[in-house]
Amino acid sequence: MRTNTIRTTILFLITCAVTSQAQQTTLESPNRKIIVDLVNEHAAKAGAWHLTIKYQTDGKVTEAVPRIDLGLVRNDQDFSGNLVLLKTGKPVLINEQYTALHGKQLNRANTANELTAYFETPGKAKMNVIIRAWNDGVTFRYEFPEKQGSFIIKDERTTFSIPQQTMRWMEKWNPANEGLYTAMSDEKIQQQDWCYPALFNTPGKACWFLLHEADVNRDYCGTKLRNTADKNAYKLTFPNPKDGAGQGDSLPSIKLPWKSPWRVIIAGSLTDIVASTLVEDASAPSVIKNTDWIRPGAVSWNYWSNNHGTKDYKIVTTFADLAARMNWPYTLLDWEWDAMGNGGTLEDAAKYILSKGVRPLIWYNSGGKHTYVPATPRDRMLTHESRVAEFTKLKKLGFAGVKVDFFESEKQDMIRYYLDILEDAASFEMMVYFHGCMVPRGWARTYPNMMTNEAVRGAEWYNNGPEFTNTAPEHNCILPFTRNVVGAMDYTPVTFTNSQFPHLTSYGHELALSVIFESALQHFADRPEGYDALPDAAKSFLKTVPVIWEQTQFVDGYPGKEVIMARRKGNDWYMAGINGEIRPKKKKITFGFLKQGVKYKMTLMADGQHDKAFDIQQHVVDQSTTIEVQLLRRGGFAASLVPLQ
């Protein structure tokens, strides 16, 4: 992963104004669409401080977030209510290009204007606030610049005040981050703890913004949003002491000098939200030098169709055969591989899988005392010594990566554990993905062997009860605007048969998820006969659809109702749309994202006459083409677009 960063002092991008209402410092993004104000509401150099974020487009300025209160409370003193602003530094231009190994865009260029505000408490302790105005949002972080000292952070006062008319899509807090999103505004606003990321649309609909955090490291914990004190004020809150079976401290311990994670506000149009890579852009560059062994790809997976499938050697080999037949590079051995029987052992399975030209991945329950889940094998990733022993064995057997499950906490000790796993895995050239885990915080940039996270209510929930049958279609149409914006998402999509509980989504909807949802290890979850029975066009599509993308383009949609997206790999485009509602729709599809002057052969796999049928069509399209596509209720379509010679 290559990174180039340029920092240039730019004096003209900051303005300072003192009025009777406030002391204010203003910073603009390089494209001048994002405006950040640092404000003391009493026009003083001391007191409480907050940020205001505005969005400017088409000559109109929208107040996106009217107030973000700032401050921290350390165990020795308060850094919030009585801060003296000593000075604001000279602004610098952050101009960075880097190449990602996977994700929604490989070649990334991001720019921001950065400003540091230098504060002091009455006790003469120093705290800085570092603010960046990016072209697609705002990030800020706290810094204690002094060179020594150990402290506990007792509270973070960061609070986002959001007008109640603002529409919002939020997920009730749960340690696995596997809930449904609730859409609400005005009197329907609920008060509780909430997961990241949270999506908002301003009154008047001019600006969308997404709240999250990035570059969380060993020096802090993960946070969440809480609006129990005021329904329109979302305060950053530390983990509940009861999380993770009560293991670990909920308050983070720090050593100076210290910087907090970035507080992230992605802002702009829905197109800006969907395409944003800001969470990874703001995170630390890769610490892994040789990355040739990190190879994203599609995966066959036996758990969804047979919850105990990995105990059965014959089922394991059947899914290896499926991966080979579909040109997928991986198959996953899920829980209970330590009890495998019916003709072979783990070693036999690994040998068979490799003989098919496929590489195995393997699951671990390793949350330690943080989880009550008894599934085996347990806790083989808990210590450095046990990880080294396990990775040594796996490397010898030809395994390419590990799936580690059941973390159930975002306390500081668990953040350190996540990163320990990633670092030890990298030393053995092992890819990693986490389940029962936190939402991505930008680690895929710092540790590009971090391939994907679950942290989503995905297709596995068809095993857990009847609820997902009815909620999945709408939920699927919210995820591209929320959870999947901030990092790879292991939803385990594209199922045509049923698991323990049926799905109501059409075959076109399910096929579309291979493009709509992004994950560097994309687990296609159906049983072999589900894929074998597909028409040739759909089967060929799943044999070739990429899992990494050079460009992502939002085409049309609205959270919970529908989404149409296009993604490019090389010169080829893949397009997909899904309908989350219970009424059929006709959508006019345009192709303005295609290369000018080039015609493309389009293979369209749309809904047929019923949920389990496809209408397969061939078209020649270019930038000026419009095609009407029929979507069944809960339906969808997928298409490939290949340039004509």
CB 469 within 8 A of CB 178: no
The pLDDT score that the predictor gives to residue 134 is 98
**Six-digit token pair at 370?**
């943080």
CA dist list (Å): 464 to 178, 230, 467, 501, 581? 12, 34, 8, 8, 23
Strand 521-524, strand 297-301: pairing: parallel
The pLDDT score that the predictor gives to residue 46 is 87
Residue spans in the chain of domains classed CATH 2.60.40.1180: 558-643
For 53-106, give the secondary structure using H, E and C. Answer: EEEEECCEEEEEEEEEECCEEECCCEECCCEEEEEECCCEEEEEEEECCCCCCC
- Cβ partners under 8 Å of residue 270, min gap 6: 208, 481, 554, 557, 558
Which ranges constitute the DSSP H helices of 362-483? 384-397, 412-427, 443-446, 467-476
Residue 14 has pLDDT above 80, yes or no: no
**Six-digit token pair at 431?**
């890819």
**Chain Cα centroid distance, residue 616:** 32
Where does the pLDDT of residue 645 fall: very low under 50, low under 70, confident under 90, or very high at 90 and above?
confident
How many angstroms separate the CA atoms of 437 and 407, rounded?
A: 5
Cα-only R_g, the chain: 25
How many CA within 13 A on the CB side of residue 418?
36
The pLDDT score that the predictor gives to residue 41 is 81
Q: Which residue is associated with the tokens 């700032």?
A: 70
How many angstroms separate the CA atoms of 622 and 261, rounded?
A: 44
The pLDDT score that the predictor gives to residue 42 is 82
Residue 173 has pLDDT above 90, yes or no: yes
Q: Which of 177-186, 367-376, 433-442, 453-462 has the lowest mean pLDDT?
A: 367-376
CB 578 within 8 A of CB 516: yes
Question: DSSP state, 240?
Answer: P
Positive or negative, the CA dihedral 172, 177, 178, 180 is positive
CA dist list (Å): 516 to 32, 476, 566? 30, 9, 8
Residue 316 has pLDDT above 70, yes or no: yes
Q: Is 244 left (phi over 0), alpha (psi -120 to 50) or beta?
A: left
Where does the pLDDT of residue 24 fall: very low under 50, low under 70, confident under 90, or very high at 90 and above?
confident
Residue 5 has pLDDT above 90, yes or no: no
CB atoms within 10 A of CB 280: 27
Coil, helix or strand for 630? strand
Closest CA relative to residue 98, chosen from 87, 89, 109? 109
Q: In the predicted model, what is the mean pLDDT of residues 401-430?
A: 98
Q: Which of 20-24, 535-539, 551-555 has the lowest mean pLDDT?
A: 20-24
**Six-digit token pair at 90?**
């000279």
CB 115 within 8 A of CB 23: no
Q: What is the pLDDT of residues 571-594, one digit of tens each?
A: 999 999 999 999 999 999 999 999
Average pLDDT over all residues of the chain: 95
Residue spans in the chain of domains classed CATH 2.70.98.10: 3-281
The pLDDT score that the predictor gives to residue 591 is 97
How many angstroms separate the CA atoms of 643 and 180, rounded?
A: 39
Residue 241 has pLDDT above 90, yes or no: yes
Residue 179 has pLDDT above 90, yes or no: yes
CA dist list (Å): 521 to 361, 491, 525, 527? 10, 10, 12, 18
Q: Which residue is associated with the tokens 């671990």?
A: 364
How many angstroms separate the CA atoms of 428 and 64, rounded?
A: 46
Residue 175 has pLDDT above 50, yes or no: yes
Give the type of residue at 167: M
The pLDDT score that the predictor gives to residue 4 is 59
Helix 346-355 and helix 313-325, axial crossing angle in degrees, nearest 10: 20
The pLDDT score that the predictor gives to residue 23 is 66
Confidence (pTM): 0.96
Residue spans in the chain of domains classed CATH 3.20.20.70: 297-537
How many angstroms separate the CA atoms of 603 and 97, rounded?
A: 34
Q: What is the pLDDT of residues 460-487, one digit of tens each?
A: 999 999 999 999 999 999 999 999 999 9
User: What are the b/e assignments for 42-68, b being 16+ CB within 10 Å?
Assistant: eeeebebbbbbbbbbeeeeebbbbbbb
Residue 8 has pLDDT above 90, yes or no: no
Coil, helix or strand for 418? helix
Coil, helix or strand for 377? coil
CB 515 within 8 A of CB 576: yes
How many angstroms separate the CA atoms of 168 and 182, rounded?
A: 8
Where does the pLDDT of residue 243 fall: very low under 50, low under 70, confident under 90, or very high at 90 and above?
very high
Give the type of residue at 423: E
CB atoms within 10 A of CB 604: 22
> Looking at the domain 3-281, which fold is it?
Beta-galactosidase; Chain A, domain 5 (2.70.98)
How many CA within 13 A on the CB side of residue 250?
15
**CATH architecture for residues 558-643:** Sandwich (2.60)
The pLDDT score that the predictor gives to residue 285 is 97
Coil, helix or strand for 342? coil
> What would the CATH number be for the domain defined by 297-537?
3.20.20.70
How many angstroms separate the CA atoms of 439 and 177, rounded?
A: 7
Closest CA relative to residue 69, chosen from 41, 27, 29? 41
Strand 636-643, strand 600-607: pairing: antiparallel
Q: In the predicted model, what is the mean pLDDT of residues 321-347?
A: 98
Q: In the predicted model, what is the mean pLDDT of residues 444-457?
A: 98
Give the type of residue at 133: A
**Six-digit token pair at 549?**
């993308």
Where does the pLDDT of residue 11 fall: very low under 50, low under 70, confident under 90, or very high at 90 and above?
very low
Where does the pLDDT of residue 55 fall: very low under 50, low under 70, confident under 90, or very high at 90 and above?
very high
How many angstroms separate the CA atoms of 297 and 354, rounded?
A: 16
**Chain Cα centroid distance, residue 90:** 33
